[in-house]
Amino acid sequence: MPPPPVPGLPITPVEFDGMTVTPYVNQSTGRLAYSIRATSMRAPRTAAPAKHAPAGKDIAA
């Protein structure tokens, strides 16, 4: 079941689990097409605060 709409957004954000993409040739057009499937759909998780990397020479090259 999809999550309820988020007020103020034009689309409802969701997360998909178990995504698979299967390429195939469309028999009627001869073009490459894709079948995209997911095992489940859920409301997005809240993001954790980003940790800042150290500046300057401390960053690994």
> What is the reported pLDDT for 48?
65
> What is the reported pLDDT for 33?
94
DSSP 17-55: ES-EEEEEE-TTT--EEEEEE-SEEEPPPPPPPPPPPPP
H or E element that contains 15: strand 15-17
> What is the reported pLDDT for 55?
60
Write out pLDDT tens, residues 4-46.
777 888 888 888 999 999 999 999 999 999 999 999 988 888 7
